[in-house]
Chain A
Amino acid sequence: MLGGDATLSEVFCPIATDGAAIGFVLAVLDMHKHAREKPLLWVQDRLSRRETGRPYLAGMTRPMQVIAVDVSRPIDVLWAMEEGLRCPALAGVIGEVWGDPPALDFTATKRLALRAETHGVPAFLIRRAAHPNLSAARLRWNISSLPSRADPHDQRAAGAPMWRADLFRARWQTPGDWVAHHDGEKLVLDHGVEASAHDQHRARA
């Protein structure tokens, strides 16, 4: 499922300012073949850039090459993503769209999905302040932050981040709900049992 065939995934953020979606998407991208030596195309529309900031490479888990495209309208995000998906020299294409623009309809997402599958470039559409309406994305996630793991060296500090990954729509598999984290190499999806145990552990602490 993850790291397999390249396709279009849609990632929704219930809290717009949450950085969990970015961490999750980068972790998924790490699992694709040859993703580490290729550059990444990162397209942001104006509102996403203003409300949630720009990518900061000092905080990434590994060194990566980023080509950032700043556009003003959501339709330009789709155009730039399509251009990027045509180029197999990219590790992936990330597009950030704010709200529910009319340009982002079923046809547009289907174009993106087909192009991503044809050229083998994974595409991620990060949507904030948006409703999960009609879309042709093959995987649709809802990503939010969970309280992070304990820091072994500092009791009061937050440790490795954990995310709640809710796959609410999938084309080739059954949807599910996981607790996800990045173990330095790849994305790990656990089941909720562990997460609740983790919560209990935290509650005891």
Chain B
Amino acid sequence: MSGEDKLPVLAFPSCKDATNPPPTKLEQAIAAMRAALENRPAIDRSAPATVAQDIPDSFSPVGVPRSKPEGPRSGSGRGAIVLAQGAVAPTKHSLPIPARDNTMRRITAIHLPRFAMERWLRWAAQNTLAPPDDLPVVLAVEGTHGPVVHATNRAAELQGIHIGARVVDMRALCPDLRVEFADISGDRVALEKLMIWARRWCPWTATDGATGLVLDTSGSDHLLGGEAAMLREIETRLSTLGLSARLATAPTHGAAWAMARFGGVRRICRAQDLAAQLSPLPVRALRLDGDTVVLLQRLGLKTVGDLAAVPRVSLARRFARAPLAKNPLLRLDQMMGHLGEPVSSPDDPPRFATQSALAEPVQDPEPHLPALCDTLCADLFAAGFGARRVTLTVFRTDGEVSQISVATSQPSRDPDHIRRLFDGKLERIDPGFGFDLITLVAAVAENLPTVQTRLEGGADDGAELGRMIDRLSAKFGAGAVRRPTLRDSHIPERREGWQPAMAGEIVPPAPLRTLRPIRLLDPPEEVRVLYGVPEGPPAQFVWRRVTHRVTRFAGPERIAPEWWADRPGTRLRDYYRIEDHTGCRFWLYREGLHGDGRGGDPRWMIHGVFA
């Protein structure tokens, strides 16, 4: 075990929308009028870009975003006149709007150029079907005119086979070509698994197309010894999985994407030399679709630098309404950081997380759990939080991730308690061939102020009860530990519902004024009866092959069906409290009446037992 590294405790700054309320229609109209008065070009930048820039950053992994004061628009004399006339609330432009600097992130793009083929080769090797290295193999998908090449191996590439060509043509080129069918959905699932596995390097990961991953490694690289070491580590880890990868780290997603595919090996790009490093790349590096690339090349714009050198207005006139994949201007803005493009991770990164990197793969997480719990709870305590759901994740050496989670009924930061919740659950984790990284994450955390319940500093009763419920729920499942709640119904079995004790506050049912049994049979059981009088209680009944002679009774108490909830034809119930010859007291009912037109003879059921 090389030591315990702690993921950075991520601070979520509170949303600052309160200071900048969304502009009303009136304010928008006035802003547009002012723009017209200043003779600015109408199509300066498309609408979504402007909106995206004006929204302040409310959520950043690296603390409060560095603010760049924007020149106040109301600086011109006319704007000031408008303000003086009081048409606009003066708070709108009195403060400079903090703009986000989109180049302060560090984004790592991972390109897996042969992902589908390498996955197939791995599967083939496991099934002893692996072809020799010099045999050209392609994976095909169905196209409009027969199968089309989807992925190739190195031998096929050397023979001149390229992706997108028809398989029959390529077979003419290379007669001993081996064709297998690609597993597109399987590849996608595998890539998503790999994306989760990539959380070992940073908390934000997302898939990027069919063959790529994108990681927001801002502030995570120092845990692996800097960015160069991190890229080497990522490449080594992926190569042990049999995946060849091309990596790059850059300040923006677009730049990292371009450099991973068209730049050198493990390129690292700083914010200041972004333009210099990107300008020699081809326009294909802008993530545009094929038609737009052809169009740009026809226009003589071969590289990113050429495109950036063209006056913006002339390009904007041409591409103003184009969608993102066809719009070189928006793509260029994204690449250079003029337009924000955060890594959209499928789930939120945890705020409280701790991890333990192991020197070599192990099978059992048990010895590492106490230290992880201590660290996590110390973090929670420092921030005044308590965990409601804690997830233990092990990152296996074979590219898989296995996790178990436990929940608490009220926020807790007691390390012993959290560790005990994992008792008996650690066997369920699947270690595979071993794992070398364990993370413990407070997936859901809530405010937990420090309180003292008694003057002498005694224990907190509510917390103890909550811990017991947590332990029972962790062992038997949340559905097995329940509390009764009062429901709005007069049918006896529907009056009380049972709801998981983890769910929190409930309305406990109180005793009724009329006598009710202490136990309710669920469902009611049918009994055979001997009538004393046709419309009265039975004189004798047989329940579970035991004959009970009725000595005393009270009733009937009629409970009608709930017509708004029951199905049509449900019969009413006449309940009797009955004491038999041994003194046992039962709650019987007759379902229906003679000749009520809802079935034959009424049945007798036993529904409960009195104390």
Contacts and interface: CB of A to CB of B under 8 A. Distances in A.
A90 B585 contact: no
A19 B522 contact: no
A126 B583 CA distance: 19
B9 interface: no
A38 to B, nearest CB: 8
Chain B CB count within 10 A is highest, among A18, A57, A60, A62, for A57
Contacts of B610: 19, 23, 59, 161
B484 to A, nearest CB: 5
Given A60-B511, A68-B483, A147-B583, A87 B465 contact: yes
Contacts of B498: 68
Interface string A52-74: 11111111111111111111000
Contact of A63 (B511, B543, B552, B609): B511
Given A58-B516, A69-B476, A79-B475, A15 B582 contact: yes
Interface stretch (A2-10, A108-116, A152-160, A167-175): A152-160
A66 B472 CA distance: 14
Contacts of A26: 518, 611
Contacts of A63: 508-511
B585 A19 contact: yes
B462 A58 contact: no
A202 B236 CA distance: 91
Nearest to B554: A157
B26 interface: no
Contact of A22 (B521, B543, B551, B611): B611
A68 B577 CA distance: 26
A146 B522 CA distance: 25
A60 to B, nearest CB: 5
Interface string B594-611: 000000000000001111
Given A19-B518, A19-B611, A157-B554, A57 B583 contact: no
B512 A69 contact: no
Interface string B528-559: 00000000000000011000000111100000
Interface in B274-307: none
Given A54-B520, A67-B483, A68-B484, A89 B462 contact: yes
Interface string A119-131: 0000000000000
B579 A147 contact: yes
Contacts of A23: 518, 610-611
B553 A156 contact: yes
B586 to A, nearest CB: 8
Interface in A59-105: 59-71, 76, 79-80, 83-84, 86-90
Interface string B457-493: 0010110110111011001100011111000000010
A87 B611 CA distance: 28
B498 to A, nearest CB: 7
B501 interface: yes
A194 to B, nearest CB: 16
Given A19-B609, A59-B511, A148-B579, A71 B516 contact: no
Contacts of B183: none
A20 B611 contact: yes
Contacts of A41: 468
A141 to B, nearest CB: 15
Contacts of B65: none
A148 B609 contact: no
Interface string B304-345: 000000000000000000000000000000000000000000
A18 B492 CA distance: 20
B585 A57 contact: no
A58 B512 contact: yes
B471 A59 contact: no
Contact of A87 (B464, B501, B510, B519): B464
A16 to B, nearest CB: 9
A162 B511 CA distance: 20
B579 A71 contact: no
Given A57-B509, A67-B483, A148-B585, A89 B461 contact: yes
Nearest to B424: A79
Given A58-B512, A148-B583, A161-B610, A66 B483 contact: yes
A184 to B, nearest CB: 12
B515 interface: yes
Contacts of B522: 53-54
B102 to A, nearest CB: 52
A17 B609 contact: yes
B554 A56 contact: no
Interface string B112-134: 00000000000000000000000
Nearest to B459: A88
Contact of B482 (A17, A68, A88): A68
A142 interface: no
A11 to B, nearest CB: 13
B133 to A, nearest CB: 56
Chain A CB count within 10 A is highest, among B461, B472, B501, B512, for B472
B495 interface: yes
Interface in A127-153: 144-148, 151
Nearest to B555: A157
B481 A67 contact: yes
A59 B517 contact: yes
Interface in A1-55: 15, 17-20, 22-24, 26, 39, 41, 52-55
Nearest to A39: B465
A145 B585 CA distance: 8
A161 B520 CA distance: 17
Nearest to B578: A158
B32 interface: no
B173 to A, nearest CB: 65
Contact of B469 (A58, A60, A65, A67): A67
Contacts of B465: 39, 87, 89-90
B1 interface: no
A70 B462 CA distance: 22
B511 A62 contact: yes
B582 A145 contact: yes
A107 B128 CA distance: 56
Contacts of B501: 67
A22 B518 CA distance: 8
Contacts of A68: 481-484, 498
B484 A66 contact: yes
A120 B162 CA distance: 78
Contacts of A88: 459, 461, 464
A151 B554 contact: yes
Given A19-B519, A151-B554, A69 B577 contact: no
Contacts of A162: 583
B192 interface: no
Given A53-B522, A56-B520, A158 B508 contact: no
Interface string B415-427: 0000000000000
A88 B461 CA distance: 8
Interface of A: 15, 17-20, 22-24, 26, 39, 41, 52-71, 76, 79-80, 83-84, 86-90, 144-148, 151, 154, 156-158, 161-162
The 4 closest A-B pairs by CB, nearest first: A23-B611, A157-B554, A145-B583, A59-B516
10 contacts: A17-B543, A17-B609, A20-B611, A54-B520, A58-B492, A65-B483, A67-B469, A83-B475, A89-B461, A161-B585
